Amino acid sequence: MRWMSFFLPLLMLISVQVSALQQYSEGACILLDQQVQRFSSQPQSSNYRNAKSEYDKKCLRPTKAKPPVQQARGDNTVVTPQPQQAAPEVVSTAEPEQTQTETEQAEVIQPVAELASPVIVAEELLQAVPEPEPEPEQSADNTMAGVSDSASGGTATNNSEAGNAENEPSETFVPVPVIVPAPADSGDWWHYDNLIKQLLTNLPLVIANILAFLLAVFLLTNWLGLNLPGFKGIFAEYKLNRLLRWRLARGYRHFRKLKLLTAKEELVVVDHLVLSPFGIFVILVKGDRGNIYGEVAQANWQRQYFGSKKQFMNPLHQNFKNMEAIKHHLQLQGTDLAQHVHSVVAFSRVAHFKTEMPANVTYVDTTSVYLKKFEEPCFDDDQLNRFAALLHQASTAL
C-alpha cells in the first residue's frame, strides 16, 4: 500500500497538469491543419512532426473568439448576454470616471473587447503581438451610463439629461503571422529512404567512380609494371606473420625480411624465418592463384587459372638459395647442425594443389601445424642466443 500512497498523488498532479493544458484557438488550429497537409508528403521532416504534435495536443477543444462587449444604450439599460448564449467568461466593464460637477461633460470609457489572440506555431517569427489601443468616443450629450454590479442585481442609473448615444466598438486588426515553410531537415540524410534516394540520384556518379577505380588498377598493373600476385603475396606474408605470432609458443623466435649474402656474394631476401630449439625453418610465401601442378624434382611448376597456363620456378629450388644463405650467415656449412635447417613453402588459400605435394609445401594457415611436428631438440640455449644475435643484425623488419 505504500507504493499506492506514493504514486496516487503523483498521478493526480500529472492529470491536473495535462487537463490544464492550454488549447489553441480555432484560427491557430486551422493554420496548424494547413501546415500538416502541406508537409504530409514529408512525414520525416521536423515541420510535419512539430505541427502534427501541436495539433494533436492543443486542438482537441479549440477555444472560440470572445465577442466584444456592447456599450450601454440610450434608454439607460445595460445589454447583458442572454442565458441561452454560451459565454465562456464574464467581461467586466470599466467604471465611469469621477465627475467634478453635474454641468461638466462626462467622458464615457469604452471597454476594450478581449481578443483571443491566435497561437503562433513558429514562436521565433513573432516575439510578442502588441495589443491595439481602443479609441474612446465621447457622447454628443452630457450623459453617463452607470453599470450596477451583476452579483448584487442592482439596476443601472443614468446621470445624463438627454440624448441617445450610440457607441460602436472600435475595430482592431491583429497581424496574422505568416508561417514560412522551413527546408527539409538535413540531419535525416542517414535514414534508409533518404540514403536510397540519394544513391539513385547519384547513381551515374557512383558508376563513373567505380569505372575510374578499375581503370586506375588496370594502369598500375599493366603500364607501370605492377602485378596483382605481388599484392596478394604481401597480404599472404602479413597473414603468415600474424598466425606465427599467435599460434607458436614463446620458445619460437620469428624473423622476417632478412637480407643476407650467400657464399658467392649474392644478395637474397628471406621472407620468414623461425628459430626454435627443434630446428631453423626458412619459409617462402607464394601468392599464386589457381590450380598448381608440380613435383619435387621438376624445375618448373605450372599454374592454371581461367584457362590460362603459366609456368613458374619450383619454389623448393627457389628457397634452396635462401637456405644456403642462412647456413652461410650462421656459420653452419660443413657441420652436423646444417641438417636442422628446413625449407618450407607456404601458399595462399587461393591456390589449389592438383598434384601430391611434399609435407613442407603447405598453406599459410597450416604452416604452424607443420612446424609443431618437430619435437626433438637440436639446439641448446647458447646456440639459440648466438643465432638470434646474428639474425637480428640482418633483420630489416620494424
C-alpha cell at 169: 466598438
* Contact between 109 and 136 (Cβ < 8 Å): yes
pLDDT digits (tens, 9 = 90+) for 159-209: 444 444 445 544 555 565 556 555 555 556 667 777 888 888 888 898 999
Q: What is the chain's length? A: 398
pLDDT digits (tens, 9 = 90+) for 289-300: 889 998 888 889
Largest CA distance in the chain: 146
% of residues, the chain, pLDDT over 90? 15
Domain assignments of the chain as residue spans, ordered by start: 191-222, 228-394
**Residue for cell digits 510535419?**
48
Q: Which of 213, 250, 240, 28 is nearest to 117 (CA)?
A: 28
Q: Which of 371, 189, 360 is nearest to 284 (CA)?
A: 360
Instruction: Please name every residue paired with 285 in a beta bridge, in sequence order, or none if there are none.
Output: 346
Instruction: Please name every residue paired with 25 in a beta bridge, in sequence order, or none if there are none.
Output: 63
pTM of the model: 0.43
* b/e sequence 335-345, b meaning 16+ C-beta within 10 Å: eebbebbbbbb
In what helix (H) or strand (E) does residue 144 lie, and over which residues does it extend? none
Q: Which of 114, 112, 104 is nearest to 136 (CA)?
A: 112
**DSSP designation for 141:** S
* Contact between 344 and 359 (Cβ < 8 Å): no
pLDDT digits (tens, 9 = 90+) for 185-199: 555 666 777 788 888
pLDDT digits (tens, 9 = 90+) for 309-367: 889 999 999 999 999 999 999 988 888 888 999 999 999 888 899 999 999 999 988 88
Strand-pair category, 341-347 with 361-363: parallel
* Contact between 28 and 121 (Cβ < 8 Å): yes
Q: Which of 161, 170, 155 is nearest to 78 (CA)?
A: 155
Q: Transcribe 6-56 into DSSP letters.
A: HHHHHHHHHHHHHHTPPPPBHHHHHHHHHHHHHTTT-TTSHHHHHHHHHHH
Sheet with 253-261: list strands edge to edge: 253-261, 267-276, 279-286, 341-347, 361-363
The pLDDT of residue 72 is 46
